[in-house]
Chain A
Amino acid sequence: QSALTQPPSVSGSPGQSVTIPCTGTSSDVGGYNYVSWYQQHPGTAPKLIIYDVSKRPSGVPDRFSGSKSGNTASLTISGLQAEDEADYHCCSYAGSYNPFVFATGTKVTVL
């Protein structure tokens, strides 16, 4: 039950795009199309922003997009805004006995 890997931090200026990679293995990210991403502002519960690799829940702005190639999933935030400054967590399904494998999380800073 190893955690997925994300960079500790990324940053960008308003209007720019940032991409957060999430690296796993063929047993999790590479093996299933069940990657989800969560946004978490300080002191609040996480919020689902991407599910099934690239789908957005209702109400999530389309500047958030997800993709996957092999064992690495990615979250891209286009047109970065001040309110996007938060922690972002990647998660993958890894089988019925390990349904949610989380990554270490990435702090996005808007310069």
Chain B
Amino acid sequence: EVQLLESGGGLVQPGGSLRLSCAASGFTFSSYLMTWVRQAPGKGLEWVSSISGSGGSTYYADSVKGRLIISRDNLKDTLHLQMNSLRADDTAIYYCTWGGGATGSGIDYWGQGTLVTVSS
């Protein structure tokens, strides 16, 4: 059974930092692209960042480029999102996601999400 368990969310002041983690199980983690998707309160879904199976290629939405850093530990089957210079509009539920098909084909599995609140 595929499981994605996020952790690390919480309340942080504007300009602050936070590190999200996602523990994956039930599939060959190192073989697949992993992706973070977020959802601001009452809003739609927004792609944040993706990382290749090896970790050698990373991709970012323009809205987070230069502030958020995606990484992975294939020995521990864990995905990370280092969030720096946080702004109020980064407030959202952050989902760790995985799709078992071709990139862009569809996101089969979603974690339960972790809430990040940026506020003073």
Q: A1-B61, A48-B108 are in contact. Are A96 and B45 (CB under 8 A)?
A: no
With A36-B105, A51-B101 known as contacts, the answer to whether A100 contacts B44 (CB < 8 A) is no
Task: Provide the bound-state CA to CA distance between A101 and B50, in Å.
Answer: 12
Instruction: Tell me the total A-B contact number using a CB cutoff of 8 A.
Output: 78
A1 near B62 with CB under 8 A, answer yes
Determine if B112 and A97 form an interchain contact, defined as CB atoms under 8 angstroms apart: no
How many chain A residues touch B (CB < 8 A): the figure is 29
Interface of B is mostly: loop
The answer to whether B44 touches A32, judged by C-beta atoms less than 8 angstroms apart, is: no
- Size of B's binding interface in residues, CB under 8 A: 26
B50 surroundings in chain A (CB, below 8 A): 99-100
B44 near A51 (CB under 8 angstroms)?
no
Cβ-defined contact, A51 with B110, below 8 A: no
Complex interface: stretch among A13-21, A67-75, A76-84, A102-110 = A102-110
Q: Which residues of B contact A92 (CB under 8 A)?
A: 104
A102: B residues at CB distance < 8 A: 37, 44-47
Q: Which residue in chain B gives the minimum CB-CB distance to A93? A: B104
Residues of A within 8 A of B (CB): 1, 3, 32, 34, 36, 38, 45-48, 50-52, 57, 89, 91-94, 96-105
Q: Tell me the dominant secondary structure on chain A's binding face.
A: loop
Q: Chain B residues near A94 (CB, 8 Å)?
A: 104
The complex places the Cα of A96 from the Cα of B50 at a distance, in Å, of: 10
B66 CB → nearest A CB, Å: 15
Q: Contacts A99-B50, A102-B46, A102-B47 known; A45 to B105 CB distance under 8 Å?
A: no
Interface residues of B in 10-48 (CB under 8 A from A): 33, 35, 37, 43-47
Contact status B44-A89, CB under 8 Å: yes
Contact (Cβ within 8 A) B59 A3: no
- B106 an interface residue at 8 Å Cβ cutoff? yes
12 contacts between A and B (CB under 8 A): A1-B61, A1-B62, A3-B44, A45-B111, A45-B112, A45-B113, A46-B95, A48-B108, A51-B101, A99-B33, A99-B50, A100-B104
